[in-house]
Structure 1
Amino acid sequence: MSVYDEIFFTENITKVNKIVEKIVFCTCILPVFFYVFTALGIWNVSTPFCFFLFGLSSSFSVIVYFLNRNERTQFISMVVSLLFCALFVCVLGSSGIINISIVFGIVPFISCLYYNMKLTRTITIANLFMIVVTLYMRSFRILENYRFTMETFSQIKWFLSQSLGFSLEFIFVFMVAFSIARRSKSSLQTMMDLMLERDKANKELKEKNANLMQTQMDIIKFVAEVLGSHDLFTGRHVIHTQKYVGIIARQLRQNGCYIDVLTDEVIQLYETAAFLHDIGKIHIPEGVLNKPGRFTDQERELMKVHPAEGNKLLDFLPPIKNGQLNAIAKDMAFYHHEKWDGSGYPVGLKGNEIPLSARIMAAADVLDALVSQRLYKNPMSFDMAMKIFEEERGTHFEPCIVDAVLSCRGQLESEDVKFKEKESAENEKELNWWKEYHEKLAQLSN
């Protein structure tokens, strides 16, 4: 039996014990009814016997109650409760309060709730023994009631005939109860085995999905690295913005904005999709991307095609997370240069027409562009960057996104410091290489 099965059957004992505990408690009420109905002349049960029954029921109710309060005594409680119920029925039968009938099979059938064949077998045999004793005691009562027919009445003959009859009846009871217990346990065992197999299959499927997801994320990061080899700053830029997008999105949610949309899962998708927001720059010539000076009008217009190019490229990305990530990545790539007031590109959307993911991406994109080194400029201070965000509130950026950026400035600045410390040496080396490249290119042109 697996650990899962053991836990189930152990918990089942505890649950059924609570039910049987209520049954045991209800036996305390019966003597009270006997006493009341005897006083009304409906029954004829002696007062001492009513007190005896009440004392017996109360004592076992207390015992069962305390046994059920302790996990270690649940099995003992199960046996004691069932034996008491059998004893209680037999005591009633021996006194003549109830006729001996199928009611004596109640306890074996209750035992079936525990799905334990050994228990059902033991309780049934014990119950049969109690019935035989009850019949023997009842034979004396029969003898007392039928003294006027002694010549035709035999106590031993009555006892043997009744015992044989009820033994045959109890064989039937035993077969039914045992079959129920065995069949129930077998069905439960099969069901739990299937559940266990399903859990194993689900676990394996989750592991495979997790591995597949990780592989997809690694491919996306690889694409970002490839982009970095094409453009000195874009590779690092997407890594920076990926971090900033997550920080800003969580701050938005903390500020009470878009709570229903910005779940942990969605924010994680935003962070991953941010790696691909500038994928369209692969189609921009290296000489333009890595130009040390300002762009000409023609070069600036050429740069503006990268959102549309990125949107086209992402059509070839295999579905990730049932296509959720793909849709977000396309929105970020195509719309991250749109502005809240409608003055952006490539479409000129305004306000909530711009997807939320792209609005957050726009803030992260501009922030990194302001505070990071570029071939044509030095990094701006965070104070100055925050001032620009305040000025662009309601024009370039959605007001609540600006509020979020200002609220989490400490986190954003901390990440910026880490990036600069990690990348400073490599940046200087790359900058010098591209400056020399453009100088030699200019000499060749002359």
Structure 2
Amino acid sequence: MSEQGLKTILVVDDEPANITVLSGTLKDNYRVIVAKNGKQAIDRIESVVTPDLILLDIMMPDMDGYELCQILKRRPETKDIPIIFVSAMSEYNDEEKGLQLGAIDYITKPFSPAIVLTRVRNILQLREAQLSLENQNKALEQTIAERTREVYLTQNVTIHALASLAETRDNETGNHIRRTQYYVKTLATNLMRNGHHLDELNKDNIDLMFRSAPLHDIGKVGIPDSILLKPGKLDPEEFEIMKTHASLGAIALKAAQESVGENETSFLRYAREISECHHEKWDGTGYPKGLKGEDIPISGRIMALADVYDALISARIYKPPFSHEKAKDIILEGSGKHFDPKVVDAFISSEEEFKAIAAEFRD
């Protein structure tokens, strides 16, 4: 085999006789480079080649083998090179120290060339198997990442397609969807940072809530145009029909959730919760189920405030847009009645972010 295709062994020893014996043992099967001390070994690695394995003496002047091993194991580019100590230091403590520093084997001088050759071959085969496994794992991780990205994109496309469908039948604008989406993320992040609902609020779940929020009014596709698009105030009977949009959305999303399995697409769980519960009130006077307090999922409580705030600051046929300050006063008044007090606190401490979101996505 040409030297170009051979594994490279670095022999580090200050005794020429040892170098001669080791080089002679290995040269027929490996490319051998030598160094007579620790500094020269580092120079060889940096300027010649990164070896596949190092045979390292311990007792050397200036820098002993233990020190060189520590230096190599600290460096990212050399930390994974297998090191075999080859030393006349034969005490158990010497071998134990060498292995603790990261060496993979320890051969005591005087050595048998056949033993050295066998140990080197076995360790290089093991290292090659490890590298092969690492490459397989990297390829698998890349495949999983690509599939995860595909699922993520599919979820987003599904969400936006459904949200756009609801939007075509509603007087509210697409910017309402974007604003409330970012309000939800802001509130959830603030609650998490302040240590609230940590069993539910984490980076991944907040992302799911953010992506699911546009589906909060998906049930409006089931409301008759005569009610949904009515320019004036709804009468009591019409309002009762309008209220069913929360349940209609939840039913559709629950069916989708059950058909694909909750664990695979948990974003549908949040979409269902938000759709069904964003009109529930903290004091139990909301709809469709009249849930109260902590019985309302946190995603629904967050969406409730986000939705109301945006309705207050937006123009409607039946009202002009309210200022942020007026909307804030109404929300404060609703704390403990309409809204979860902790969510209201999160809103108050995130006022500037709400203003910035409203300005960025204004109609």
TM-score (norm 2): 0.72
Match of 1:187 in 2: 126
Deviation at 1:199, TM superposition (A): 1.6
Q: Is 2:338 the partner of 1:400?
A: no
Length, aligned pairs only: 300
Cross-structure match for 2:114: 175
Going from structure 1 to structure 2, the CA distance change for 1:11 and 1:244 (only over 3 Å counts) comes to farther
Q: Offset of 1:316 from its aligned partner? A: 2.3
User: C-alpha distance in 2, partners of 1:261/1:304?
Assistant: 27
Question: Contact 1:245–1:364 (CA<8 Å) still a contact in 2?
Answer: yes
Deviation at 1:230, TM superposition (A): 1.3
How far 1:274 sits from its partner (Å)?
Answer: 0.7
**In structure 2, do the counterparts of structure 1 residues 63 and 176 end up closer, same or farther at CA, with 3 Å as the change threshold?**
closer
Q: Note the residue ranges of structure 1 that are not aligned, 5 or more in a row.
A: 2-6, 25-58, 90-105, 132-169, 424-446
User: Residues 246 and 205 from structure 1, CA distance in 2 versus in 1: closer, same or farther, beyond 3 angstroms?
Assistant: same
Alpha-carbon distance, 1:366 to partner: 0.8
- C-alpha separation in 1, matches of 2:359 and 2:175: 14
1:52-92, Cα deviation, whole Å (9 max, x unpaired): xxxxxxx64754466557559x89xx99973xx34x78xxx
Distance 1:384 1:60, change over 3 A: same
Instruction: Read off the aligned partner of 2:280 and give its amino acid letter.
Output: E
Q: Which aligned pairs between 1:366-377 and structure 2 lie closer than 5 A?
A: 366-377=308-319
Distance of aligned partners of 1:68 and 1:401 in 2 relative to their CA distance in 1, 3 Å threshold: same
Output one character per residue of 1:165-184: Cα deviation in whole Å (capped at 9) or x when no partner: xxxxx7xx433442232123
Aligned residue among 304, 316, 330 for 1:362? 304
Structure 2 counterpart of 1:41: none
**Aligned match of 1:316:** 256
Residues 1:388 and 2:330 are matched in the alignment: yes
- Structure 1: distance between partners of 2:148 and 2:316: 39
Deviation at 1:371, TM superposition (A): 0.9
Pairwise CA RMSD:
3.6
- Select the residue among 282, 303, 325 that pairs with 1:340: 282
- Unpaired runs of at least 5, structure 2: 6-44
Which structure has the highest helix share of the two? 1
Q: How does 1:104-183 map to 2 (within 5 A)?
A: 173-183=112-122
Query: Secondary structure at the residue paired with 1:304?
Result: helix
TM-score normalised by L of structure 1 = 0.59
Q: Distance in 2 between matches of 1:80 and 1:248?
A: 57
* Displacement after TM superposition at 1:286 (Å): 2.4
Distance 2:53 2:198 in 1: 44
Partner of 1:208: 147
Partner of 2:214: 275
> Pick from 296, 321, 334: which aligns with 2:235?
296
**1:350 shift after superposition:** 0.5
- Decide whether aligned partners of structure 1 residues 271 and 320 sit closer, same or farther in structure 2, where only a CA change above 3 A counts: farther
Higher mean alpha-carbon deviation, 257-266 vs 335-344, is at 257-266
CA distance in 2, matches of 1:68, 1:351: 62
Structure having the higher Rg: 1
| CA–CA separation in structure 1 for the residues paired with 2:183 and 2:298 | 15
- Describe the superposition over 1:335-389 as per-residue Cα deviations: whole angstroms up to 9, x where unpaired: 1111111111111111111111111111111111111122222211111110011
Aligned 8 A contact 2:262 2:269 in 1: no
